[in-house]
Amino acid sequence: MRSLLMAAVLLSGCAPADGPPAQRPSHAVAAGHEPADPFSARVASGCKTEEECHVLNEEAMRRVMSCQRTLTCDQAIPNQRATNTMLQVHVRRRGEAEAAARKSLAEEAERTRAAAETAKQAAITEAHAAERQKLLDEAVADQPNCESGGEGWCTSLRRFMDRYRDHPINPTFAEAINNGAAARAQIQREKEEAEARAARSAAAAAKKKREEAGEPAPAPAGRVCCCDGSVSPTCTFVKRGCCSRHGGVCACN
């Protein structure tokens, strides 16, 4: 609105509302007799802040609008242009400072975010390393028992190998597991051999006892052999009356 009013004033030659354009006083026309203008001196001194420039520019615009008789429009218009130029310089500087401040805040926020993300990743890495070390310690502690044939002791080794497939200790754990399997197989063979020996010893002792007592050897399960070489047609185990017509019960050959 002010710009439109000022343009109207400039086009009209700063004419007062009730008459022709203002004329300089006759005593100020002669060269060297231009009246001193304190406002022009203020404009020449400039303004240090945007607020000061606003105040100075407002006053310059009022002077242009009124075209006071003590100050011709030829003086008022350059003054207003000068104050407006100074004001725009401060406005531009403020805009630049605000932009720089926003940029600085954004950069600081990005640095803060990056630092937080770095700290988060470091914490995750540290937690993973601690978990890996825990599982490794358990596997190393169980390795001797696993290698000696304890099946349950190999679980921690397999768990570590499955989770950390590229760890350099895995070949050692694999060898321990294989050795443990071989040890268990050997233990099982020795157990079966011991049980077989015990069974043979028990059978031999039972046979000797029967021979000493004169008792016939028990028939194989499901049949009874008679002394005439036949098999009892009615008995499936030795009992009273078996082979009574075939010479009695004898050991099956």
User: Read out DSSP for 189-253?
Assistant: HHHHHHHHHHHHHHHHHHHHHHHHHTPPPPPPTT--BBTTS-B-SS-SS--TTTTTTTTSB----
φ and ψ of 231, to 5 deg = -110, 135
pTM of structure: 0.45
Mapped onto helix, strand or coil, the DSSP state of residue 166 is coil
Alpha-carbon distance of 80 to 68, in angstroms, equals: 14
251 within domain boundaries = yes
137 within domain boundaries = no
Alpha-carbon distance of 147 to 179, in angstroms, equals: 5
- Residue with the two structure tokens 């030659």: 13
pLDDT at 167: 94
160 within domain boundaries = no
pLDDT at 216: 60
pLDDT at 3: 41
101 within domain boundaries = no
Whether the CB-CB separation of 246 and 253 falls below 8 Å is answered with no
pLDDT at 31: 38
Q: pLDDT averaged over consecutive 10-residue blocks of the chain (253 residues)?
A: 39 37 36 59 84 87 69 72 89 93 95 95 95 95 90 89 94 93 90 87 81 65 81 83 84 74
Token pair listed for 23: 């004329």
pLDDT at 126: 95
Alpha-carbon distance of 230 to 247, in angstroms, equals: 10
171 within domain boundaries = no
Token pair listed for 210: 């029967």
pLDDT at 228: 86
User: How many structural domains are present in the chain?
Assistant: 1
Q: Which domain holds residue 242?
A: 216-253
CA dihedral 79, 80, 85, 91 (to 10 degrees): 130
Alpha-carbon distance of 190 to 91, in angstroms, equals: 99
Whether the CB-CB separation of 170 and 164 falls below 8 Å is answered with yes
58 within domain boundaries = no
238 within domain boundaries = yes
52 within domain boundaries = no
